[in-house]
Amino acid sequence: MSVLLLGDSHLARFRAYDRLIGRNCTVRAVGGAVASDLLDQLGDLDPGTFDVIAVSVGSNDCCRSTPNELPAFLSSIQALVERVAPTPVLMVASPGVDARATDHDDDKMRHFATQASALVRSRGGRALDTRKVIAPLGRRGRAADGLHISKVAHLLLVPALRVGIRRTS
Query: Does position 5 have pLDDT exceeding 90, yes or no?
Result: yes
Query: Does position 152 have pLDDT exceeding 80, yes or no?
Result: yes
Average pLDDT, the chain: 92
CATH for 45? 3.40.50.1110
Domain of 92, in residue numbers: 2-168
Domains contained in the chain, number:
1
- pLDDT for 67 equals 77
Split at pLDDT 50, 70, 90, the class of 164 is very high
The amino acid that residue 120 corresponds to is V
pLDDT tens column, 65-124: 777 899 999 999 999 999 999 999 999 999 988 777 677 777 888 999 999 999 999 999
